[in-house]
């Protein structure tokens, strides 16, 4: 059964890096990472982090996904996902790859 955390994810102004913070089962989870190519700056104030096992949310993981035009979906490591509606749409949508560091705060 998946665990769902709620929070936010936002990019740096350059669109090359991102940061997210989520709460699930009264525990904080932080994710920070970078994309191999920049995307337009984005923010999702109502994002969700889904995962099956909290133990899998540690360390550096590969990621892939899509940012834009009105949503974000990132798959991190062995199946954790971050999804959400973007506060402001960005065009065009971009396929992304990169790395994310996850930790419990």
In the chain the domains, ranked by start, together with CATH numbers, are 3-104 (2.40.128)
pLDDT in the model for residue 56: 82
pLDDT per position in the chain (105 positions), as tens? Answer: 799 999 999 999 999 999 999 999 999 999 999 999 999 999 999 999 999 988 888 999 999 999 999 999 999 998 899 999 999 999 999 999 999 999 998
CB 5 within 8 A of CB 29: yes
Closest to 50 measured CA to CA, from 99, 86, 9: 9
This prediction has a pTM of 0.95
Distance CA 30, CA 19 (A): 8
């Amino acid at each position: 059964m998946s665990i769902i955390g709620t929070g936010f994810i936002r990019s740096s102004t350059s669109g090359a890096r991102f940061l997210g913070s989520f709460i699930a089962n009264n525990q904080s989870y932080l994710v920070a990472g970078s994309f191999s190519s920049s995307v337009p700056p984005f923010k999702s104030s109502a994002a969700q982090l889904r995962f099956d096992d909290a133990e899998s949310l540690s360390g550096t993981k590969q990621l892939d996904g899509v940012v834009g035009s009105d949503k974000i979906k990132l798959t991190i490591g062995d199946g954790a996902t971050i999804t959400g509606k973007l506060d402001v749409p960005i065009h065009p949508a971009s396929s992304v790859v990169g790395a994310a560091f996850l930790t419990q705060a």
